[in-house]
Structure 1
Amino acid sequence: MTGGTQTDTGHRLVLVAHGTRNVDGNQVSRAVAEAAGRRLGLPAMASFVELSEPLFSEVMEDADRPVIVVPMLLSTGFHVRSDLPEAIARASVPVTLGRTLGPDPLLAQAQVDRLLEAGAERGQRVVLVAAGSSDEAARCDQMGAVSLLARAWDGPVELATLSGHGTRPDEIVRPGDAVSPYLLSPGHFADRIGRLDVPDTVVAEAIGPHPLVVDLVVQRAEELLAAEAAGR
């Protein structure tokens, strides 16, 4: 575990997730924000690009103190390249944008935990299923996540995507496989994975508000605070 309780630096921590119509899915980001803020000693909140409130764009417009932003996103893509910078440009206070959460060894270990909870066995072939993207940088990030999970799982891991570039789950998942959703929260994509109709497969839950996700958010936030302090 990283990051003990710190003194309020005058910043606000804002997590930004994609957003979903699934209430439980949005609650994941809120729970992680609360836990990370408590660890950092900062006021913290979750926001969303779309489909749920508060919208990140509105949070940026209303910000009244310096903000550090940690994307609750697993790979580079349109939101990171376009939506988030455009919203940040409208803020009237200093805003520092952090890196996406994935790929990262902590996420891989959290996936291992979810696989074991679902009944998967070490060495069992795993298919990591990502939401997918048409962005080549996102594809590289997904392959990085596959490599990290294979190392943490100590077994073969293949990649499938639900959209964009890549092989679809029903083309690659075989009877006897385990499926690891590369998703932070329940919602549309997790529901699609849950409907996968392949006999004798073990399907893990989405990563969710795992303690290691909180650790990772705290790490990202501490990186931003340290960079700001060094630049003063």
Structure 2
Amino acid sequence: MTPALIACSHGTSSPAGRAAISAIVDRVREMLPATDVTEAFVDVQQPEIDAVVQRMPVGAPAIVVPLLLSTGFHTRVDIARAVAAARGPALAAPALGPHPLLAELLVKRLTEAGLGEGDAVVLAAAGSSDPAASVDVTAMAQLLADRLAGERIAAPVTVGFAAGAGIRIADAVTAARAAGARRVIAASYVLAPGHFADVIARGGADAATAPLAPDDAVAAVVVDRFRRASAELAG
């Protein structure tokens, strides 16, 4: 029996943010036409992840794919709690990042922003108090740096956070300029428009890229996470 896919995002009050996430879920439905795909949220929006998991038929398998870029409180606590209480076989997939497809998408966004010789990149993430989130973002920064090098784009990549632990975006931008960057471009490592995208835009960089969603690459990562978790659930 094919597991259901529960796409669990944070939730946002931003209409543009809601539209971007819904567009990703709709694209996943198109890519997995034989799979029941349902949206769920950990905050702000309804339905909550616990309620969605509990509505699953008894014995029906389910995979929760976090529409979140890094490991953190919501993956370790909210989603883990919901999966543990499932009435059938259930598994939580890892957060979407780090992932090579996201690195490709970030390069695309940076190219659109005019990244050139002498520029530096700050991978600008939302941030978290969970150290695992910083580990994931650092790994994503390395994937991005490797991808840029493969494209023969000589741009150093550092990391900045809008909140939580770690260096703030504005400080990372200042450090990149002090290191001699001609321009500093903030690579927005957030899924959708909203509060953190606004913080990144105000972070002092010469330019900031658009959020990752909606883009088929994000939907492809969701599908990849689902398929891998489904294989694991099947044993």
Q: What TM-score range do you get, normalising by the shorter chain?
A: 0.7 to 0.9
Q: 1:124 to 1:60 in 2, by over 3 A?
A: same
Could you state the TM-score of these two structures normalised by the residue count of structure 2? 0.87
Residue in structure 2 matching 1:107, options 92, 99, 102: 102
Counterpart-to-counterpart distance in 1, 2:35 and 2:78: 25
Q: Which residue of 2 aligns with 1:96?
A: 91
Mapped to 2, the partners of 1:122 and 1:59 lie a distance apart of 48
Name the structure 1 match of 2:152. none
Q: 1:63 aligns with which of 46, 56, 69?
A: 56
Cα distance 1:103–1:10, how it changes in 2: closer, same or farther (>3 A)?
closer
Structure 1: any 5+ residue segments left out of the alignment? 1-8
User: Where do 5+ consecutive residues of structure 2 fail to align?
Assistant: 150-154
Task: Rate the CA distance shift 1:43–1:122 in 2: closer, same or farther, 3 A.
Answer: farther
Give the aligned partner of residue 195 of structure 1.
202
Contact 1:16–1:70 (CA<8 Å) still a contact in 2? Answer: yes
Structure 2 partner of 1:18:
10
Q: Give the 3-state SS of the residue equivalent to 1:31 in structure 2.
A: helix
* Aligned residue identity for 1:212: A
- 2:171 aligns with 171
Change in CA separation of 1:123 and 1:141 when aligned onto 2, cut-off 3 Å? farther
Separation (CA, whole Å) in 2 of partners of 1:135 and 1:110: 25
In 1, Cα distance between the equivalents of 2:20 and 2:128?
22
Contact 2:90 2:233 in 1 (8 A): no
CA RMSD of superposed structures (Å):
1.7
CA distances 1:36-94 after superposition (whole Å, capped 9, x unpaired): 23222212122110011222121112122321111111111111111111122333232
Contact 1:30 1:45 in 2 (8 A): no
State the secondary structure of the residue aligned to 2:160: strand
Distance in 1 (CA, whole Å) between partners of 2:117 and 2:102 is 17
AA aligned opposite 2:201? G
Establish whether residue 49 from structure 1 lines up as the match of residue 42 from structure 2: yes
What is the TM-score normalised by the length of structure 1? 0.88
Distance apart, 1:21 and its partner CA = 0.9
Within 5 Å, which residues of 2 pair with 1:1-40?
A: 9-40=1-32
Match of 2:119 in 1: 124
What is the CA–CA distance in structure 2 between the aligned matches of 1:136 and 1:172, rounded to whole Å? Answer: 18
Q: Shift in Å at residue 10 of structure 1?
A: 3.9
Distance 1:157 1:137 in 2: 20
More deviation, 119-128/17-26? 119-128
* Residue of 173, 185, 190 corresponding to 2:192: 185
Q: Match for 1:224: what amino acid?
A: A
